[in-house]
Each structure stands twice: as structure tokens, then as C-alpha cells.
Amino acid sequence: MSRSHDITDDRLVADYLNKLAAAAAGLPADRRAELFEEISLHIAEARAVQATAAVAIRPAVADVLERLGPPEDIVRAAADDTETDATAAAPAPAAPRRRVLAIGTVILLLLGGLLIGLGWIAGVAMLWTSARWRTSDKLLGTLVWPGGFVAILSIPRFGAGLPPLLALLLLLVGVAAPIVVAIRLLRRAWRMPGGPPPPHTYQPA
Amino acid sequence: MRYMVAGEAGNLVAQMRRGVLPYCVLAMLRDKEQYGFELVHALGGIDGMVTGEGTIYPLLARLRRQGLVETTWQESTAGPPRKYYRLAGAGEEALAEFTESWQRLRESVDELLARSGQEPLR
């Protein structure tokens, strides 16, 4: 490739990246830096391929940039994603049924023990067959406590011989732990496949 | 189909494509990790999948923030260092869930479309 070609290509790339930087000015700084790095690397990689490829299949820099698309479109996609993240808690089209299922599972885990234990077993089955929880969540949901709140009902009987303070503490832990686990399960169900909200949201300039 | 606005189907397809694209990316990473350029270039080569290859990078960044993919840097002999993307555990789960939903939806729609040949849907 001739030197004049290189210079023209360099200018094309610089123009493209300048446009990208200008368009991305409204993005949060970390998103902007990440996007710029990825796109720069993409172009550098394409040019490295270009340098080693046979002339006949050598992709022109202009083609590489055209395939990348207008910088404004890339930034719009990044801005959309920023908004998507921020509203991850808003229901997605398929979310309501999943959430009802998640809530049902958690209620069965907490209170299903009251239905001769069968409700709790159903809750555990729902917990383990769902893809929305990780194994660690499933273990927690199953082990804290088997039978849910029903397990706590046995504390007064157990605790008869214990000092009152210890019995009270046991009772508090017994009640609080399943609630904490339930909240964790629900939070996880709410987030999948959305992520936690980002610290910033995109403000159009 | 008098009730549908002309051009709406095209718009719908664009929306559907946008909705399934994250899972297509996860699917491409299922068997092996790939670096950004490789992944993006391959996706760009699939007919009708993306309009601009550059728009896949924000998507990859989001998948990483969501913990669905993981990244590692590796040196390259021919060019700049490469950022490799790999499916994370949560990504595998999300992909499995999507695969199931997608198959169910596709079968239902196929069945409806075949049936609606006789009796037009409103």
C-alpha cells in the first residue's frame, strides 16, 4: 500500500473518530471512554488484517468504516443501552409472568410449610427448576429455613429450656433470615436479564 | 391485514432483531471465546442481523456490565491487544432460558400463521 494511501486512510480514521468523540460527548465519561477504545481497536485490528492480507481481499479502510456505520448510530445505541439499564426495573414484555412466578415461589418457600409442608416442597421445586436464580440462591432459598416460617414455630418448644434472651435472639434470627433470603431472591428475579442501574443516565445535549 | 399500517411489519422486525441480538451474541460465544473484531465482523456478515457493526460494541459493554459475559485482554502477534469475550455462568443461564422461550414462541407463531391461511386474523 502506498504512502499517500496510508495518509488518506489515516485522515479517514481520524475524521471518523473525531465524529464519534463529538457525538459521544453526552455519554457518561466511562461509557464514552469504553466505546472509543473499542471502536479504535476495531479499526486498528481491521488495518492490521489489511496489512497482512493479499491485495485482492484487502478491505479498504473506507469499507471498514462504512460497515461500522455512522458514529451517531453507535452513540445512539450506547445511549439507548444506558437508558435500558436505568429502567431495567421497568417490566419487559415477558416480565409480568416471570415475576408472578418468582413471587409465587418466594411465598411458597416462606409460608408453604403451613400446607402440611407440601407448599414448601412445591416452592423448592419451582426454585430449582427456574433459570432465573443461581445455584447459590437456590441453596440459600432451600436451606434458610426448610419449611420457611413453620421452622420458627418450633423455636418456642425448643427454646423452653434456654435463657429468655437467647430464645428471643433465636426467634429474631429465625424470622429475619428467611425475609433477607426472600428479598435477595426477588431482587435477583427482578434484575435478570437486566443489570443493576448505572450511576449515571444519559442526558441528551 | 387492513388494520395494520403499511411499513409496520418492517419496524416490528427491526424491534425484534434488537430484542434477540443480545442472545445471538451470547449464542456466538457459547462454544468459544472471541475477540471484539472477530465477533462483530462475524455478526455483521450474517444477513439482516445488524445494520452497523459499531452498534454491537455498546451491546457487548452492557452484557459485560450485566455479568453475562466476561472479558480478558490478550496480546496479538499481528495487531493491537485483543479484548476477548467469554460467556459467563449467568450468560449461559440467560441463553438457556431464551432458547426455550424462543422455541416455544416460534412454534406458536408458525402454527398460528399456518392456520390463519383459512380464517383471517383481525
Q: What is the pLDDT of residues A144-188, one digit of tens each?
A: 877 777 777 766 666 667 777 887 887 788 888 888 888 888 888
Does the CB of B17 have a partner CB in chain A at under 8 Å?
no
pTM of the model: 0.58
Q: What is the arrangement of strands in the sheet containing B69-74, beginning at the earlier edge strand? A: B34-35, B82-87, B69-74
Residue B50 lies in a domain: yes
Domain that holds residue B101: 11-115
Q: Which residues of B touch A89 (CB under 8 A)?
A: none
Q: For all residues of chain B together, what is the average pLDDT?
A: 89
Quote the pLDDT of residue B108: 95
**Inter-chain CB proximity B97 and A41 less than 8 Å:** no
Confidence of residue A83 (pLDDT cuts 50, 70, 90): low
Residue B52 lies in a domain: yes
Confidence of residue A194 (pLDDT cuts 50, 70, 90): very low
Tens digit of pLDDT for each residue in B7-33?
777 788 888 888 999 999 999 999 999
CATH at residue B94: 1.10.10.10
**Best interface-test mutation with B: which of A39, A41, A57, A72 has the largest number of B CBs within 10 A?**
A41
How many structural domains are present in chain B? 1
Mean pLDDT of A50-79: 85
CA distance A137 to chain B (A): 12
CA distance B17 to chain A (A): 13
Residue B1 lies in a domain: no
Residue B108 lies in a domain: yes
pLDDT at B47 over 90: no
Confidence of residue B42 (pLDDT cuts 50, 70, 90): very high
What are the structural domain ranges in chain A? 3-86, 95-191
Residue B59 lies in a domain: yes
Would you call A154 helix, strand, or coil by DSSP?
coil
Confidence of residue B6 (pLDDT cuts 50, 70, 90): low
